[in-house]
């Protein structure tokens, strides 16, 4: 009986998390203003591209879960970095990433066993943060005019006197 209540609480927590994610990626401007200033979401502006990128992210999420459950190495970070490059290329923003994450997470946990849904939710939180970090790095490199993906990190790690 206690296990059932625990699962119900976890499911409710996941539902609250989805609602929060959906609220975070909801447009804050009117549709007309968004169209005038071209601040529509990636899903609205380029639905096919959004779908392809979400599919890539979904594949990465599957590998994250496999990595945790089966203790295998899939080099997820490199996949997330490459996905961030693609997102940056199409000028995606944080709301687009959250919307993609929420879309994929809903798809992955729908009908899944509670334990598997929990793993997707837990690992997804970390993956989306890492993806956001890579997207920030992409835009930082663009602003600084650095073309190599790891050049900015290499410059920072070199200290005077080395």
- Residue pLDDT, tens place only, 97-131: 999 999 999 999 888 898 899 999 999 999 999 99
pLDDT at position 16:
73
Please name which of 115, 120, 125, 128 lies closest in space to residue 65, comparing C-alpha atoms. 120
Rounded Cα distance between 83 and 54, Å, is: 10
pLDDT at position 162:
45
**How distant is the alpha carbon of residue 82 from its chain centre?**
12
pTM of the model: 0.76
CATH number, domain 47-146: 1.10.1240.30
- Work out the pLDDT band at 31, boundaries 50, 70, 90: low
Q: What are the tens digits of pLDDT across the range 72-91?
A: 999 999 999 999 999 999 99
Under 8 Å between Cβ of 54 and 100: yes
Helix 94-109 to helix 2-24 angle (10° resolution) is 150
Rounded Cα distance between 48 and 52, Å, is: 6
């Amino acid at each position: 009986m206690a296990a059932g209540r625990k699962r119900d609480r976890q499911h409710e927590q996941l539902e609250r998390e989805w609602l929060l994610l959906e609220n975070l990626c909801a447009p804050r401007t009117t549709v007309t203003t968004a169209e005038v200033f071209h601040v529509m979401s990636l899903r609205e502006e380029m639905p096919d591209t959004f779908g392809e990128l979400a599919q890539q992210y979904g594949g990465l999420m599957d590998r994250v879960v496999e990595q945790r459950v089966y203790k295998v190495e899939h080099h997820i970070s490199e996949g997330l970095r490459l996905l961030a490059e693609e997102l940056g290329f199409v000028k995606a923003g944080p709301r687009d990433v959250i919307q993609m994450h929420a879309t994929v997470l809903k798809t992955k946990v729908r009908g899944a066993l509670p334990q598997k849904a929990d793993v997707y939710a837990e690992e997804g939180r970390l993956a989306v943060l890492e993806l956001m970090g890579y997207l920030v790095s992409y835009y930082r490199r663009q602003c600084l005019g650095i073309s190599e993906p790891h050049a900015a990190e290499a410059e920072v790690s070199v200290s005077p006197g080395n």
